[in-house]
Structure 1
Amino acid sequence: MEFRLAGPTDRKLVEDLWAYCFEPRENPFFQWYFSAFYKPENVLMGFKNREMACLTHLNPYKLSLRGKKIPVSYIVGLATHPAARRGGVGGKLLSAALKEMRRRKQYLNILMPSKAGFYQHYGYEMYCHQWKETIRLEELRPLTDKTVRFGFVNNTDQWTYLATVYDAYTRSVSGYAVRDEASWRSHIEAQLAEGYIAVAFQDDQPIAYVFYSLGGETIVSGEFVYSSWKGKRGLLDYIYNHRSQGKIFQWNEGLQDQSYRFYPDGKQGHETMPFMAGRVVDVKGALEQIPYPKGAEGVVTFHTEDPLAKWNTGSFTLAVKDGMGCVTAAGADEAEIFMPIGTLALLIFGAVDVNGLVFYEKLRGSDAALATLDEFFPRTNCYINEWY
């Protein structure tokens, strides 16, 4: 197969495969994405016998990872033409995408999998789950707060209302997308193409916001963010006032939220939803880019296997000092720790700690080396809510 980045004349090919596999052209999100967000230089196309067989979008993002802004690629819209399926095309496309991301110095990659098992086979692991809450509107009443006031965001100039709340919400988590003015304006445009944005205020201070859509029995929220318990209750009060327009409210929020303990019936409508997978694009680049805990110091040598990126298969020595890492190649007989590439991603993102990975047989090594690794990669609360 041959792979190349899309050019200006490839737009119809890209749109046609998206419309075939995802939303139709008349869908509001499709119209917004290809008019305001799409960039051909971020689309990697695969050709077989001169016919397009597959493509994926490599949208650039910055994540806040352990307190540092890290450039990554977010793979979306990965699609294979039906005529080319069941021939290993997906794996070849992912391998080509990793090469392109490495060229761009994006050493970590995120992806929202439709089927996690498919991507785990290729070195991806789920680093972020969310709570998925589903509650009948009538049952929201004990959780509401009528002392806040509400306003609508109806243009992109109001982005600072949302940014204030988002920054407070993400202060104690890792793995989330860093949003600047341009990305906020993009998010607002995308949401207003499909639904509404409401903001809760305490006096003149924004304390919560919700992206939501109407039109069915279930009112669905695409983003539900708050800086305080009062803000969350205020949003639920706002949604409760829609009882003539819906019967059920469904929203997602970070696993760090524990307020489900205080719901009228915590046994119903409360479940986890796998949300985002992470992957290492380049072992050396990723480990030298991320920060390490203050006071962590030491050296550990590990061996990893990567099914898609040959440059990641081998033994590496990681030396950490003053919050920075240095990676050098090592001999196979020097390795003290053994793990697949997906396990390294879980450690970097902080989704699971060393002891957990040992328990699940995703990691093995000497006690001393494992203790050093645990010092380098403490577990974090992971959160992200990007959909494209």
Structure 2
Amino acid sequence: MDIRKLTTDDFEACMTLSEYAFQFVLNEEQVEKRREEFNSHNVLGVYEDGQVGAKLQIIPFQTYIQGRSFAMGGIAGVATWPEYRRKGWVAGLLKSALEEMNRNKQSISFLHPFSFAFYRKYGWETYVEFKNYKLSTDQLPAKKATSGTLRRGNPELSVLKEVYDTYAERYNGTLSRNDAWWENSVYAKKGSQRAVYYDEAGLPQGYVLYDVKERKFTIGEMVHLNEEARQGLWTFIANHDSMIDEVTLKAPANDTLAFQLDNPRIQQEVTPYFMARIVSVEQFIS
């Protein structure tokens, strides 16, 4: 098995394989963004007959665990051409990836599995799950007056980062986000509308990223640092009641929204999401 570190010269071959395996087609602008990301990732591939037959990417991240930041390798883009499957190539790539992450002192690894059973064989296990909520407008938290101010618009990224970083440290498995991740994976995917809650002193204490379409309020991300901010954000959402019929959102698995409702009989579903494994026990403990 000829496993190599891939370079920018292999980008087109990898992109063609990804589009085939994951059944998508990117436009020119999206391809260029992927090219930029490719250059910052650690990409391994199996060569066969002079071409890339299988590949995976190791994306460098920092993740919070017990309030501390850990170097994490995110496994992504695992794909093999159909004619080369069932040859143990992915197993070989995962072994090489673990060795590579160990050398780079990435003591923990996350991935989003196509099959939990498949990756369990290689040491990853279910780590992150989240709640999916769907509420009708008459089920929303009661509107409450707060002493702060809600500002809708396009806040500076530094404002959202300040709130998110304080919030993220409280959870295990949250990412420490750089500017590129905010632009490409948060702003681009979690809603085109933004609103920030500021306390009486003018300090940001929470925000919501969302979209309102076809009488649905879709929350891509809602972060609040205290109860006042939570009430302020939900009051803002409830003030859309003449425009919407339902609200949907994803929340941490330990979220307590149901306890804050007059009628807790709402639709909620727990979804297993990410898997994780320790790459190096020695590095992780130290």
Which TM bucket (shorter chain)?
0.7 to 0.9
Deviation at 1:242, TM superposition (A): 4.5
Report the residue type matching 1:150 in the other structure: R
* Equivalent position of 1:150 in the other structure: 151
After the TM superposition, which residues 112-127 of structure 1 pair with which residues of structure 2 at under 5 Å, given as runs?
112-127=112-127
**Bigger RCO (CA 8 Å, 6+ sep):** 2
* Equivalent position of 1:263 in the other structure: 261
CA spacing shift, 1:45–1:153, aligned 2, 3 Å: farther
Q: Deviations over 1:272-330 (max 9, x none)?
A: 2212211122233323x3xxxxxxxxxxxxxxxxxxxxxxxxxxxxxxxxxxxxxxxxx
| Secondary structure in structure 1 of the residue aligned to 2:181 | helix
Contact 2:56 2:78 in 1 (8 A): yes
1:199 lines up with 2:196 in the alignment: yes
After the TM superposition, which residues 18-33 of structure 1 pair with which residues of structure 2 at under 5 Å, given as runs?
18-20=18-20, 21=22, 23-26=24-27, 30-31=30-31, 33=33
Deviation at 1:168, TM superposition (A): 3.2
Contact 2:128 2:275 in 1 (8 A): yes
Report the residue type matching 2:153 in the other structure: F
Deviation at 1:12, TM superposition (A): 1.1
* Equivalent position of 1:250 in the other structure: 248
CA spacing shift, 1:106–1:185, aligned 2, 3 Å: closer
* Equivalent position of 1:37 in the other structure: 37
Deviation at 1:226, TM superposition (A): 0.9
* Most deviating of 164-173 and 214-223: 214-223
Quick one: distance in 2 between partners of 1:189 and 1:17? 22
Deviation at 1:231, TM superposition (A): 1.9
Report the residue type matching 1:78 in the other structure: V
Q: Which of 181, 195, 210 is matched with 1:186 structurally? A: 181
CA spacing shift, 1:67–1:168, aligned 2, 3 Å: closer
Quick one: distance in 2 between partners of 1:245 and 1:44? 49
Q: CA RMSD in A?
A: 2.8
* Equivalent position of 1:64 in the other structure: 64
After the TM superposition, which residues 85-124 of structure 1 pair with which residues of structure 2 at under 5 Å, given as runs?
85-124=85-124
| Secondary structure in structure 2 of the residue aligned to 1:122 | coil
| Secondary structure in structure 2 of the residue aligned to 1:59 | strand
Quick one: distance in 2 between partners of 1:120 and 1:40? 27
Deviation at 1:98, TM superposition (A): 1.1
Deviation at 1:131, TM superposition (A): 2.1
CA spacing shift, 1:40–1:160, aligned 2, 3 Å: closer
1:277 lines up with 2:267 in the alignment: no
- The structure whose Rg is larger is 1
Deviation at 1:25, TM superposition (A): 0.1
1:228 lines up with 2:226 in the alignment: yes
CA spacing shift, 1:257–1:68, aligned 2, 3 Å: same
* Equivalent position of 1:209 in the other structure: 207
Aligned residues: 280
* Equivalent position of 1:177 in the other structure: 175
Quick one: distance in 2 between partners of 1:186 and 1:51? 31
Q: Deviations over 1:208-231 (max 9, x none)?
A: 122334545654333221112232
Quick one: distance in 2 between partners of 1:162 and 1:125? 31
Q: Deviations over 1:116-174 (max 9, x none)?
A: 2221122111122222222224432x4344644123236xxx22211222233234333
* Most deviating of 61-70 and 208-217: 208-217
Contact 1:219 1:246 in 2 (8 A): yes
1:52 lines up with 2:52 in the alignment: yes
What residue ranges of structure 2 are gaps of 5+ in the alignment?
none
Contact 1:145 1:230 in 2 (8 A): no
Q: Deviations over 1:53-73 (max 9, x none)?
A: 222221111122233322110
Contact 2:41 2:57 in 1 (8 A): no
Instruction: Provide TM-score, normalisation by structure 1.
Output: 0.63
* Equivalent position of 1:365 in the other structure: none
What residue ranges of structure 1 are gaps of 5+ in the alignment?
290-388
Quick one: distance in 2 between partners of 1:198 and 1:2? 51
Report the residue type matching 2:182 in the other structure: H
* Equivalent position of 2:160 in the other structure: 162
